[in-house]
Amino acid sequence: MKKQIPTQEISVKLEQILWSLNGIHATMRAIQVYDEFSDDMQNLFWVIMKELERDVEALSNLNEQK
């Protein structure tokens, strides 16, 4: 049997992820403005973004199952 995650807990997790995404996006824009954004940092950013997108999708799917 799958563990049921309360809807409120899912909402809180989604909100935390969205705040993280907003913070990362703002940081990326600031770095680009100063033209100090190396290829390695850009690749790392996209890896982090993909991981966060998967987390958001997984939590959304859990929320839809309820």
Domain count across the chain? 1
In a domain, residue 19? The reply is: yes
Has this prediction a pTM greater than 0.85? no
In a domain, residue 37? The reply is: yes
In a domain, residue 2? The reply is: no
Q: How many CB atoms lie within 10 A of CB 59?
A: 19
Instruction: Give pLDDT, residue 30.
Output: 72
In a domain, residue 13? The reply is: yes
Cα 38 to Cα 8: distance, rounded to the nearest angstrom: 39
Domain assignment of residue 21, given as a range: 7-65
**CB-facing half-sphere around the CA of 63: CA atoms within 13 A:** 14
Instruction: Tell me the per-residue pLDDT of 13-59, one tens digit each, with 9 for 90 and over.
Output: 888 888 888 888 877 777 666 555 567 777 787 888 888 888 888 88
